[in-house]
A = this chain, B = another copy of it.
Amino acid sequence: MLVFNLLKIGASPSRDLADTLVRAWPSYTAYVVSFMTIGIMWMNHHAMLSRISKVDSRLLALNLFLLMGVVAIPFPTALVAEHLHGPAAANGQAQTAVVTYGLVMIAIAIGYASIWLYMAGHQAKLGARQVRVPRLTTLRFTGGNVGYLGGTLIALVAPQVALVIFGLLALYYLSVPLPDPDVPDDRELPEES
């Protein structure tokens, strides 16, 4: 549904097309950031669930909650694309749009943390393969939560700055994905004993 936000750009026939396309740069930025975010989430989700061999009903429910957040991403993406600049950006509408984006990201981060904590606490029941939670992974989850929370607070006064933070978070997760348990990982910090 992300591309649906792009389809709306060309639907206003009464203006100069080249000008319309250039002015729509927030839509392209939002499309790229959200697409990358969804892609990274999909990869992390796969890496996370490939550590266990069974699921129970509670994990399915947590998973459903997470998926509900990820599927909703096109909604705040459209808000940001349409209200980031131009006349609609007046009256704090850019702030409202980016704060909404941040709130959806926080909900998704909570979903990830819940699944990870549930998996860490029920390893035997779930047939988990990698039993210890590495320190780096804990740092990553904490960092993501703090980053999205901080970005959302910053969006109240400087929505453009918050968007840059969200973009940098996506780039970080893209360059340092969650380690796949199938491949030996030399990026892990030494673990607690």
Contacts and interface: CB of A to CB of B under 8 A. Distances in A.
B1 A68 contact: no
User: Contact residue range for chain A?
Assistant: 35 or more
Contact of A68 (B36, B60, B75): B36
B36 A78 contact: no
A6 interface: yes
Copies assembled: 4
Contact of A3 (B6, B72, B175, B183): B72
Interface stretch (A16-24, A113-121, A160-168): A16-24
Interface string A3-37: 11111011101001110010000000001100110
Contacts of A9: 75
A7 B1 contact: yes
Contacts of A91: 16-17
B79 A17 contact: yes
A9 to B, nearest CB: 7
A51 to B, nearest CB: 17
Contacts of A82: 10-11, 13
Contacts of A134: none
A150 interface: no
Nearest to A8: B11
A193 interface: no
Interface of A: 1-7, 9-11, 13, 16-18, 21, 31-32, 35-36, 39-40, 43, 54, 56-57, 60-61, 64, 67-68, 71-72, 74-75, 78-79, 82-83, 88, 91-93, 96-97, 100, 174-177, 183
19 contacts: A1-B3, A1-B7, A2-B71, A3-B75, A7-B75, A7-B78, A10-B79, A10-B82, A10-B83, A13-B88, A16-B91, A17-B88, A17-B91, A21-B79, A32-B68, A39-B68, A43-B60, A60-B177, A61-B175
